[in-house]
Every structure is written in C-alpha cells, then in structure tokens.
Structure 1
C-alpha cells in the first residue's frame, strides 16, 4: 500500500513537471522514469557540470572586475550592467557581499564622478552602504552634474 502511495505521489510530481516545461523540453524528459530523474536531468541541463559552472563563474568574475562605466553612460545603465553580472554570479553560487560590490562600483565610475566617490565615502560608512543607497546617491549627483553642464553650455552661448 505504501509503495502505491509513493508511485501516486511520483506520478503527480511528474505531471506537475510536464506542465511546467514547453514542448521542446518535454520531448527530452518523457523517457525519464521518475520525477527525481526528470528533476536531476533538468537541474544538470540548466546548471551544467561543475567544471562548466566554475568556468562560467571565472568569466563572470573577470567581467565584474574589468567592467568600467563608459564615458557618457548613465548611472542607471551602468548599475544595470554591473548588477546583471552580480546576479549571474549569485546564481552560480558566488555570494558577493554588498561592501565588495559598492567598493567596486565606486572604483569603476567615470572620472567625472571622482569627487562624488570621495564625498560618498566621507558621508557614509561604506561597510553599511547598500547598492540601492549607493545608486540613489549617485543618481542625485548625476542630476547635479548634468544641470551644471547645462548651465555651463548656456553661459558659453
């Protein structure tokens, strides 16, 4: 009786898994015997082997370390690019602390933000500063810089 209950649970789980996947994936998992086999197959397929994950993580670390803000790039776009890399790293098991991310972002900013870096560092405890707080602060400074540049252009004309 207990075996029958286990089979019923497994069939229900397989049914839920079948409903979750589209047709192209469904064809590859139909031959799997149990829901556990389906789950393991899909997990391996989505995450890859341990070696592939390590290699992907190495690539992401390099991207994280070398990514710099482009000249003329907005703070929002730069943060989007940087945080996309951080989120991919987290998916692959590398949990970067906020302080590491904050410090790297500050070091990666365009040169026009150099004075901002100093003022943020002096006004805040970098250890306690979240990435959201940093982004908000940088957005305010970016707006001030843009307004200043507009005023300077108006004076030149």
Structure 2
C-alpha cells in the first residue's frame, strides 16, 4: 500500500479574477481538510455562562478559523484583500469575495476594458518598425 508521503500536497489556488474557478478549487481544498463548515456556518461562539466544554469548542473553532484565514490570505492578492472591509472570520472573507466577484457583469466588463486598454498600449503604430516596438 502506498505511503501518504507519496502524494503531493495540494497547492493553495491563487485568485486570478475568475471567481467561479477559484471558489471551486478553494472549496475542494477546504473540504479535503475538513474546514468547509467554517465557510458555511461560521465560527462557533461560546454563549454567556458557557460550560468548559462549550468554551473549549469555541476556542477550537477559532483556531481552525485562523487556519482557513491563512489559506485565504495566501490565495488572495494584497490589493484585493485591502478592499475587503471585514476580515474577522474566514466566512466574512469568503462572503466578501463572493459578493464582489461572483458572476458580476460589472466585474466582467471592467476586466474586458482592462484587457482592451492593455492591448491598445501594446499595439504597434503603423510607422513603427519591429525593432522600435
């Protein structure tokens, strides 16, 4: 039987502007690590007058949430993270990314416009030679 060390550790998917693809890869990664419940349900909070067991469960949930936030921080560029107002929990970050990037026609138009502008900047002028370009 194969040893677990033979398997490659999955790399953290980078957000490249294509939310649906990134979300699918991140969801798969988080489910494989058994962290997805934090994205769906959020962090467990101990109620007032909590028992020792409830406090321990809440603390474990916070630590696990920090691990998920670490994955998210590594997958999202700094410029994008700076636009997310609430970074308290992994659920907050995930929801902000979904609201901002999922299937938004505004985002798709902006990406298309940026690509057009990049193309115009790279376009060689009629009087330019290849060496000048």
Asked if Structure 1 and Structure 2 have the same fold, meaning a TM-score greater than 0.5 normalized by the shorter chain, the answer is no
Query: Larger RCO: Structure 1 or Structure 2 (Cα < 8 Å, ≥ 6 residues apart)?
Result: 2
Question: Which entry has the higher C-alpha Rg, 1 or 2?
Answer: 1
Shorter-chain TM-score tier: 0.3 to 0.5
Compute the TM-score of the two structures, normalised by the length of structure 1.
0.40
Larger proportion of helix = 1
